[in-house]
Amino acid sequence: KNDLFVLGIETSCDETAASIVKNGTEIISNVVASQIESHKRFGGVVPELASRHHVEQMTIVIEEALKQANVSFKDIDAIAVTEGPGLVGALLVGVNAAKALAFSHKIPIVPVHHIAGHIYANRLITELTFPLISLVVSGGHTELVYMEKHGSFKVIGETLDDAAGEAYDKVARTLQLPYPGGPHIDRLAQEGNPNIDLPRAWLEEGSYDFSFSGLKSAVINTLHNAEQRGETVSPEDLAASFQASVVEVLTEKTVRAAKEYNVRQVLLAGGVAANKGLRHSLTAAFEKEPEIELVIPPLFLCTDNAAMIAAAGSILFEMGKRGTMEMNAHPGLDI
Ligand code: KG4
Ligand code: ZN
């Protein structure tokens, strides 16, 4: 048998996910149990609650992934699991499930970095062409990652404070929108005008780092100041102005990095890749750079899933990476 079947497991935050991927590129099954409904009433992910949900869902989700793929453990060549970064109690559930299954079925484990997973989601839709840059924007991360070849990740820029998705969620909360707020702000932004003056955090000249906390504070101040003057601010215009600032900085820095590093491909990754403003802006910007291919995955591959972990795990498996029975969760793991 020449095909490679990898079972992916992902539990770093608030989705319990399992997937079977063939040859690192083909999704055979992809099961995601989301906990959003449970965390919504608390306005954010409650770590303790997340762990408990993972424990309840993990085996059900893995069984469902095998069933949908119509395979059993004897067909699985490797188990790829997210070892970090993320919530430690959440990660431990996936890591322990992987270890137990690997031990009882004698299957090798491949530990996967969550961000590598987000990036490799792109390999499920197209071939990766190196060198490339990936803009990873999620609730926990905002990073520009340079890749010279498979399995090689160099972070050339990252957020100094809030992640892009985190800023979206915090701004949404001040506008009393439900969690997660990103999609709500995105929707409001389509209906508003970006006519409120908000800062752009370019940081030092040439820097590929990001900062969103100043912008978030500016949004909150705009609301408070208007309130004190007895005025109202249009939530649509505020959302549009906030989004314009985030999208402009993300787009500008990504284009500049892509040119400086002479890349052939730019990959978008992470939950904020669902943002309509960002998708439009990057598409427009790279239309002017015809020698660089922009890849934007479908939404179900942008948010957390296990197919992306299996995709990254497949490459790492082929490169010889293996976990052990002593492997642990690493909440603050560097890529
Ligand atoms: O990748 P993801 O599912 O989980 C993490 O690894 O963090 O990303 C979730 C984040 C949330 O902050 C959510 O508000 C944001 O992605 N998000 C969006 C949109 N859809 C999801 N942010 C802006 N616009 C959207 N359309
Ligand atoms: Zn993620």
| Cβ proximity of 257 and 134 under 8 Å | no
Per-residue pLDDT at 44: 83
Q: What single-letter amino acid sits at 153?
A: F
Helix (H, G, I), strand (E, B) or coil at 221: helix
DSSP letter string over 200-219? ----STT---B--HHHHHHH
State which ligand 1 atom lies nearest to the alpha carbon of 274. Answer: 26
Q: How far apart are CA 295 and CA 269, in angstroms?
A: 9
The number of helices, as runs of H, and strands, as runs of E, in the chain is: 11, 10
To test ligand 1's pocket by mutation, which of 138, 179, 268 has the most ligand atoms within 8 angstroms of CB?
A: 138
Please, how many CA atoms are within 13 Å of residue 289, restricted to the half-sphere of its CB? 22
What the block records as the tokens of 100 is 């137990």
**Domains of the chain and CATH, by start:** 5-120+302-318 (3.30.420.40), 127-296 (3.30.420.40)
Q: How far apart are CA 165 and CA 141, in angstroms?
A: 8
Q: How far apart are CA 289 and CA 329, in angstroms?
A: 40
Helix (H, G, I), strand (E, B) or coil at 294: strand
To test ligand 1's pocket by mutation, which of 272, 282, 308 has the most ligand atoms within 8 angstroms of CB?
A: 272
- Give nearest CA residue, ligand 1 atom 23: 182
Angle subtended at Cα 263 by Cα 262 and Cα 269, rounded to the nearest 5 degrees: 140
Q: How far apart are CA 238 and CA 216, in angstroms?
A: 11
What the block records as the tokens of 266 is 């730019």
Please, how many CA atoms are within 13 Å of residue 174, restricted to the half-sphere of its CB? 20
Give the closest ligand to the alpha carbon of residue 280. 1
Nearest CA-CA partner of 158 in 174, 175, 176, 138: 138
Q: How far away, in angstroms, is 247 Cα from ligand 1 center?
A: 14
DSSP letter string over 158-202? EBSSS-HHHHHHHHHHHTTPPSS-HHHHHHHHHHS---S------
What the block records as the tokens of 92 is 């431990």
What the block records as the tokens of 257 is 């990095």
Give the closest ligand to the alpha carbon of residue 32. 1
Per-residue pLDDT at 43: 83
Q: How far apart are CA 53 and CA 15, in angstroms?
A: 9
To test ligand 1's pocket by mutation, which of 120, 169, 303 has the most ligand atoms within 8 angstroms of CB?
A: 303
Give the closest ligand to the alpha carbon of residue 190. 1
Q: How far apart are CA 36 and CA 182, in angstroms?
A: 13
| Cβ proximity of 185 and 172 under 8 Å | yes
Give the closest ligand to the alpha carbon of residue 114. 2
Beta bridge partners of 81: 9, 111
Q: How far away, in angstroms, is 233 Cα from ligand 2 center?
A: 32
| Cβ proximity of 208 and 253 under 8 Å | yes
What size, in residues, is the chain? 335
State which ligand 1 atom lies nearest to the alpha carbon of 179. Answer: 14
ipTM of the complex: 0.98
Q: How far away, in angstroms, is 146 Cα from ligand 2 center?
A: 18
Cβ < 6 Å from ligand 1: which residues? Answer: 13, 138-140, 165, 168-169, 180-183, 186, 270-272, 274-275, 303-304
Q: How far away, in angstroms, is 138 Cα from ligand 1 center?
A: 5
Q: How far away, in angstroms, is 241 Cα from ligand 1 center?
A: 18
Q: How far away, in angstroms, is 1 Cα from ligand 2 center?
A: 33
Phi and psi of 210, rounded to 5°? -125, 160
State which ligand 1 atom lies nearest to the alpha carbon of 86. Answer: 6
Per-residue pLDDT at 1: 64
Q: How far apart are CA 186 and CA 175, in angstroms?
A: 13
Q: How far away, in angstroms, is 293 Cα from ligand 2 center?
A: 23
* Cα 263 off chain centre by: 21
Ordered per-residue pLDDT tens for the chain, 335 residues: 689 999 999 999 989 999 999 999 999 999 999 888 888 888 888 898 899 999 999 999 999 999 999 999 999 999 999 999 999 999 999 999 999 999 999 999 999 999 999 999 999 999 999 999 999 999 989 999 999 999 999 999 999 999 999 999 999 999 999 989 999 999 999 999 999 999 999 999 999 999 999 999 999 999 999 999 999 999 999 999 999 999 999 999 999 999 999 999 999 999 999 999 999 999 999 999 999 999 999 999 999 999 999 999 999 999 999 999 999 999 999 99
User: For the chain, what is the radius of gyration of the CA atoms?
Assistant: 20
